[in-house]
Structure 1
Amino acid sequence: MKLGILGTGMIVKEVLPVLAEIEGLELVGILSTPRSLPLAKELAQTYQLPLATSDYEEFLADERLDTIYVALPNHLHYEYAKKALLAGKHVICEKPFTMTADELEDLVVLAKERQLLLLEAITNQYLPNFTYLKENLHQLGEIKVVTCNYSQYSSRYDAFKRGEIAPAFDPKQGGGALRDLNIYNIHLVVGLFGAPHSVQYLPNMDQGVDTSGLLVMDYQDFKVVCIGSKDSSAAITSTIQGNKGSLVVNGPTNSLPQVSLALNGQDIQVINQNAAHHRMADEFIAFNEMITTKDYQKAQTYLDHSRAVMQVLDQAASSMKG
């Protein structure tokens, strides 16, 4: 995989040292806004990327690139991913994939027409602890209740209250707790149980954006509540309860750092099968393998999962309006 990165934000600065260590992954270029071009050039020099520019047409025309990683504000994902696909590049897009399910479907059609891989960068689906959860759900018997709480007081919240609106709190840019934090909870639940029967989102709204909220997902035989909050903090934990025991994720749903299995009448087992490396390493190792080997079947499985998540987001946004 010969990778070009779009953006110079926090996630890019975090992932660059991770990508630099992945065998077989070649870092080729970085795209920025004209204002951020000095930073892009600095990052390119640090990580030995031969290309740094603010011209997207020039970027896409570079034949050294075969894959584009879209790490831009949420509302730009669709536009930049579409241009990349039209230019014949595979696409890896940060979560949430797009603003609407229809936008994602448009990208799916383009990727299929051009025989390109389209993937969402969502850490938890690729972590060994996620596999452990999925493989041990049956031990819980009949699932009854699932709760996920990812509440983290935002460093930008105080400025937001003063009227300084960062992208993370700008509804026009896809900001808000649903798409920023609760999205990880949704991916976890849909990854484990598939699409829900119905969805309702109950947000706390401030200046037109959901600064926190409860997402209720009805699976008929059991119920799920996902909490995402940027305006308050609490213990970050998720629990899957069945009539024979429970599984608990101790920590954020984006990294699943530790899992506890508690079966009725038995001692609690604490498990951590995640590797010692950064939480984003596993997904990019998988992306590199899928793109290098053109494993369309495996990529399709992950894409179908992302489509189901986008349907949940659409339903949540619709219930928020209505």
Structure 2
Amino acid sequence: MKLAIFGAGMIVKDFLTMIDNLPEIKLNAIMGVENDLPVMKQFQTEHHIKEIYTNVAECLQKADIDTVYVALPNFLHYKFAKLDLEAGKNVICEKPFTLNSQQLAELKDLAENKHLILVEAITNQYLTNYRELKQDLKQLGDVKVVECNYSQYSHRYDAFLAGKVLPVFDPKKGGGALMDLNIYNIHFVVGLLGAPSKVHYYANVERGVDTSGVLVLDYPETKVICIAAKDCTAEVTSTVQGNKGSIVVKGPTNVLDSYNKQLNGEDDIHVDKKVCQHRMYEEFQEFNKMIQDKDLTAAKSRMDHSVAVMKVVDTALADAHIKLG
């Protein structure tokens, strides 16, 4: 993979701490705004990034790249993924893929028409621990209840209360607890159970944005609650309960560092089969293989999952009368 990174924020900084472990991915370019130049130059020095750009058209035309990693703020995902696909580049797009299903459908059609790989960077779907958990789900019998809580008080909420609206709390920029934190829980659940039959979102809405909320997903045999908050905090944990046992994940569902399996009448079993400490390693390892092999079938399978997740998001936002963008 010959990669261009679009963005220079915290997710890019985190990504770059891992990418040296995947030497088959060539860091040929990074693109950001003029204000990002000092940071991009630092990234270039530390991680041997070939070229820096502040103009997207120039980057797409001149850089020696076949793939773009869109790591920009939420509201820019659709715009820049579309530009990249139109330029004939494969696209890895940070979560949430887009702000709504209509945007995602347009990108999906564009990628298919151009025979390009388009995937969402959503860590939990690629983790060995997650795949192991999916297998262990069969041991729980009939899954009755799932509860996920990803609550993390944000210092940006203090600024929000003081009247300064940063992107994570700006509905025009795709902000809010659902898109920032609960999106991981949605991916976690939909990856295990598929698309729900009903969706309701009970949100605490301040100035048009959900600062916290409770998402209820209804399945014929399973009831799911996904909690996310940026205005308060609690222990971050997820529990899957069946009539023959349960699985408990301590920590966020985008990391899935390990989990405990508790079968009825038996001792707890601690499970940890991760292959790398960094949560992004396995997804980019698979993205590289997918792009090198031009595996459109694998990309379609991943897209089907992302489409199901985005439909949940659409319904949840509509249910809470929240409009993004």
Bin for the TM-score computed over the shorter chain: over 0.9
- The equivalent residue for 1:180 is 180
The 8 Å contact of residues 40 and 53 in structure 1, kept in 2 or not, is answered as no
Distance 1:29 1:63 in 2: 7
1:163-202 equivalent positions in 2, closer than 5 A: 163-202=163-202
Give the aligned length: 322
The 8 Å contact of residues 4 and 28 in structure 1, kept in 2 or not, is answered as yes
Question: Residue 148 of structure 1: CA displacement?
Answer: 0.2
The 8 Å contact of residues 20 and 27 in structure 1, kept in 2 or not, is answered as no
RMSD over aligned CA atoms reads 1.0
The 8 Å contact of residues 67 and 90 in structure 1, kept in 2 or not, is answered as yes
Distance 1:300 1:276 in 2: 26
Question: Residue 63 of structure 1: CA displacement?
Answer: 4.8
Question: What letter is aligned with 1:201?
Answer: Y
- The equivalent residue for 1:113 is 113
- The equivalent residue for 1:152 is 152
1:45 maps to 2:21: no
Question: Residue 17 of structure 1: CA displacement?
Answer: 2.3
Q: Deviations over 1:201-238 (max 9, x none)?
A: 11011122101000000012111000001111111110
- The equivalent residue for 1:286 is 286
- The equivalent residue for 1:219 is 219
Question: What letter is aligned with 1:143?
Answer: V
Question: Residue 188 of structure 1: CA displacement?
Answer: 0.2
1:1-322 equivalent positions in 2, closer than 5 A: 1-321=1-321
The 8 Å contact of residues 249 and 259 in structure 1, kept in 2 or not, is answered as yes
Question: Residue 155 of structure 1: CA displacement?
Answer: 2.4
Name the SS for the 2:77 alignment partner. Answer: helix
Question: Residue 23 of structure 1: CA displacement?
Answer: 2.9
Structure 2: any 5+ residue segments left out of the alignment?
none
The 8 Å contact of residues 238 and 248 in structure 2, kept in 1 or not, is answered as yes
Name the SS for the 2:320 alignment partner. Answer: helix
Structure 1: any 5+ residue segments left out of the alignment?
none
Distance 1:297 1:37 in 2: 38
Normalising to structure 1: TM-score of the pair?
Answer: 0.98
Q: Deviations over 1:40-98 (max 9, x none)?
A: 22212221112111100001112510000000110110000000000000000000000
The 8 Å contact of residues 246 and 262 in structure 1, kept in 2 or not, is answered as yes
Runs of at least 4 residues off by over 4 Å: none
| Amino-acid identity (%) | 52
Question: What letter is aligned with 1:35?
Answer: N
The 8 Å contact of residues 167 and 174 in structure 2, kept in 1 or not, is answered as yes
Distance 1:231 1:153 in 2: 5
